A = this chain, B = another copy of it.
Amino acid sequence: METLVIYDIVDDVLRNRIAEACKDYGLQRIQYSAFRGHLNHNRREELEQRLRRLLGRKEGNIQIYPICDKDLRLKREIEGKPPQRGG
């Protein structure tokens, strides 16, 4: 099932680790702090546990949304110029 992961992590190192975990599970970066891709139920649970261990009691919030095909067809995207960040 298509899965959206969004996170709000202040610390750069931790945020990068969260991003790496999402990539390891085959998700694609769709925004600076959002990844999306197909995960079956087991893989989604595995990723959830991994993210839970990474975050621990540190500052942050992570949300995982499975999105069915019907909802995905209703998704809208508004694109300006691609965001550029220094560094």
Contact = CB atoms under 8 A, between A and B. Distances in A.
Contacts of A57: 80-81
B66 A68 contact: no
A75 to B, nearest CB: 5
A79 B85 CA distance: 27
Contacts of A9: 83
Interface residues of A, number: 43
Nearest to A34: B6
B59 A32 contact: no
Contact of A10 (B6, B68, B84): B84
A64 B75 CA distance: 6
Interface string A53-87: 00111111111111110111011111111111100
